[in-house]
Structure 1
């Protein structure tokens, strides 16, 4: 007999919970917010909406299915199974947080605060959970392209929005940069780092750099197997160049970076605490990831 599906509810600690945990009581948290011209009632109401949405989704899970919950801070210790259906209850960024831990499982995004969240990845309401769960195992999901970085020591990082490579603290990074699969040149550079992003990331950090550069390259769609990359603030000198500062990557091409600093890092989706550590002489390849995020609806 086949194993019943398991629904994994992914959520995060609310701002209200963080405030009460830090200040000890509701009253102390209210006093703290009032000193900064904020009202705790608004924060508490958003907390109630988030918890109500989580409860509504949990109650919509079929009785014959299994279920589990995981908080964002525990994602790196949670083991997802192939038969899981992942329901993200929260903000768009929470989908990006969980994406790198998945391998083909369908994902449903539930918006807990409509009108406050953009709703790019959390596209549904809690009231739709029952019908979405029923369709999750049979309907075609949208496959969102992801980006990966693979170091020469087998370290690997996958991200949904973008990967940044550079120095800790965004100081000057030194490296050699080239394109693999394109027969291009290799150039020594000193810059504030390299950003490689997907079509999903084109609504965030990647878009801001793209706009700054004059939007010469078309932004990819989230399902396009195409990435954009930009070198941030490349510095020209007798030893470093600025001819390779932007471009596209297809599934057949990738960026190749060799470290010429004492230490560089690569991190994805803004999660600097979960980074690849790269030392002088190491190399890393960045390109389209073999896996994609399967987003329902």
Structure 2
């Protein structure tokens, strides 16, 4: 017997719901907002718009299909099925949050509050969801495959991200490490950025002290990586969201007698990896700005960062 399609509605608790949970009552939450010079009315209205969009999304699921909901905080404990259709109701960042837990399931991004967010990943209104769900379930909708980045440590820890992975100190202070790319000098030199413009021998390692390293996708090229790119003066062409390439940047590399600044940016194509070996007591690697979901790295440990074989399959 063939199971009916299952729709997973992914959402995030609203700011208003979090405030009420923290302060106990709506009145106390309103008092807290007023004491900070903010209007409880605006926050509450956004909460109601989000709640209404989530209810409408649930009603859009055909009655003979299976359905379930998962809140963002519960994603690490939720088991997605291979045939799931994932409907993300919220902001662009919520799509990035869920992407690393998927393995090819189609994703529909639904904007819960149109006009407040760019709508790059949550590009659909909730009233379009019935048709989109059927297209995703039957494989007839146009799917946009977006590149993801993965970090894999030498002891088998693995982290995926849609936008970027950051490796550095938890407090964004000075991190010490050795940085190189896998492979030989012939292909490494073409993909390495050089602060002074001189060739550095391709895959040779460089000891560095910096504020950390960013490795980002074309999707992340509109965010944190773009900021680093602009500060660097646009030294390379940032990849497109579907391009099998990653851009990497070293943040605020510090030159000293024992640390260099020759390898500060570059591109990684599929099959190429950036290799970072820790020379600090404690570094972390986290993806898409979620610092609570991080890999802990200790002295002498190495982490490899490159293009992930899995991709986000976003319904256009």
TM-score range, shorter chain: over 0.9
Q: Which residue of 1 aligns with 2:6?
A: 6
Q: Which residue of 1 aligns with 2:278?
A: 259
What is the rounded CA distance, in whole Å, between the counterparts of 1:144 and 1:202 in structure 2? 12
Q: Which residue of 1 aligns with 2:191?
A: none
Question: Structure 1 residues 84 and 267 mapped into 2: Cα distance closer, same or farther (>3 Å)?
Answer: same
What is the rounded CA distance, in whole Å, between the counterparts of 2:281 and 2:43 in structure 1? 44
What is the rounded CA distance, in whole Å, between the counterparts of 1:119 and 1:273 in structure 2? 25
Q: Which residue of 2 aligns with 1:150?
A: 152
Residue among 163, 166, 173 paired with 2:165: 163
Count of residues in Structure 1 that have an aligned counterpart in Structure 2 = 297
Say yes or no: does 1:36 pair with 2:55: no
Q: Which residue of 2 aligns with 1:110?
A: 110
Q: What are structure 2's unaligned runs of at least 5 residues?
A: 186-201
Structure 2 SS opposite 1:48: helix
**1:181, 1:252 within 8 Å by CA — same for their partners in 2?**
no
Residue among 185, 193, 212 paired with 2:212: 193
Residue among 235, 252, 257 paired with 2:254: 235
What is the rounded CA distance, in whole Å, between the counterparts of 2:32 and 2:209 in structure 1? 44
Structure 1 residues 122-163: Cα deviation after superposition (integer angstroms, max 9, x where no partner)? 000110010100111312310000000011101000000000
Which residues of 2 match residues 1-297 of structure 1 at below 5 A? 1-137=1-137, 138=139, 139-183=141-185, 184=202, 185-297=204-316
Structure 1 residues 195-233: Cα deviation after superposition (integer angstroms, max 9, x where no partner)? 000011111111111111111211211111111000011
Alpha-carbon shift at residue 14 of structure 1 (Å): 0.5
Q: CA RMSD in A?
A: 0.9
Alpha-carbon shift at residue 181 of structure 1 (Å): 2.8
Greater Cα offset, 180-189 or 7-16: 180-189
What is the rounded CA distance, in whole Å, between the counterparts of 2:205 and 2:33 in structure 1? 52
Q: What are structure 1's unaligned runs of at least 5 residues?
A: none
Structure 1 residues 105-134: Cα deviation after superposition (integer angstroms, max 9, x where no partner)? 000000011111110110001100101001
What is the rounded CA distance, in whole Å, between the counterparts of 1:171 and 1:231 in structure 2? 13
